[in-house]
Amino acid sequence: MTFILKTEGLNKVYRLGGFMRSKSIQALNDVNITVESDNPVVIAVVGESGSGKTTLAKTLLRLETPTSGRAIVYDQVVAGQGAIPSRKDFLGLVQPIFQNPFEAFSRYRPVDAYLHETARRVAGMDTVRSENAVAEALKSVGLNYEDVCGKYTAQFSGGELQRISVARALIPDPKLIIADEPVSMIDASRRMIIINLFKRLRDEAGRSFVYITHDLATAYYISDYVAVMNKGRVVEFGPARKVMSDPQHDYTRLLLGSIPTTKTRWRPRLRAAG
């Protein structure tokens, strides 16, 4: 079996202020998650604002260096001591999708230029291979190359742009995609298109995802595993169905009970399970 994601005692402390008035924030506190599987998975990371979700994503993406501990993705150390040194190798293994697709691309540059750049710089492709890879990636997110080529961000909806972000992430053929709140800036009516796309990419293209979200309903719908974070710690972790239907930790129960829009849907499930 493969360690799709394993974090070992991951800590991240931010130090703020000057010498006299320094303050430290423990954004990650001994985070230990192990997902070992032969099949691709979606791992949701949920928790309220400030619980450390984005810090975990940034650490896995090497945008932050852990204070201590390490992270392993598909059996390779990606963060902390012994991490694979090459940025190119890393980006061929792990790719990000960020919250705001309008910030992922400049409005002054055609979006396909970013996809070609990823194909050339990250995946090392020549022009012909790059054309094919971009067209293929766009096709896999349900878009036509001809409909995207030469267009700017203003000519797309948020949902379409986020699908283009997903296409860009797919070009280097990564095993794990880390998506930090990927649907929170998208119209509610279009969110499920992205969520179902992740599901299809897991089932048909063998990609794994770390899905960071406030939205427990989509986490329940899409995830194989759920990590619940509170104040930098993972307070509960396990198979999604188990965590969501039979939460062991008070904070998980609180979180599940505090979803106003889905309350009526969740309650019967929780009662039935309990």
Binding stretches for ligand ATP (CB under 6 A)? 14, 16, 25, 27, 47, 49-55
Pairing of strands 23-37, 2-16: antiparallel
- Write the single-letter amino acid at 157: S
- Residue 56 vs 170, nearer CB to ligand ATP: 56
- Residue 16 vs 128, nearer CB to ligand ATP: 16
Pairing of strands 94-97, 68-73: unpaired
CB of 229 to ligand ATP, least distance (A): 6
Residue 266 and residue 244: Cα distance in Å, rounded? 9
Which candidate, 189, 196, 204, 178, places its Cα nearest to that of 73? 178
- Residue 190 vs 231, nearer CB to ligand ATP: 231
Which candidate, 154, 158, 201, places its Cα nearest to that of 182? 158
Any idea how long the chain is? Answer: 274
CB of 57 to ligand ATP, least distance (A): 8
CB of 10 to ligand ATP, least distance (A): 12
Instruction: Give the 3-state secondary structure of residue 59.
Output: helix
CB of 237 to ligand ATP, least distance (A): 15
Contacts of 191-194 with C-beta under 8 Å, sequence gap 24+, read 191/159, 191/218, 192/218, 193/142, 193/159, 193/163, 194/159, 194/162, 194/163, 194/166
CB of 51 to ligand ATP, least distance (A): 4
SS3 content of the chain, % helix, strand, coil (to 5): 40, 25, 30
CB of 14 to ligand ATP, least distance (A): 3
- Residue 25 vs 205, nearer CB to ligand ATP: 25
- Residue 24 vs 196, nearer CB to ligand ATP: 24
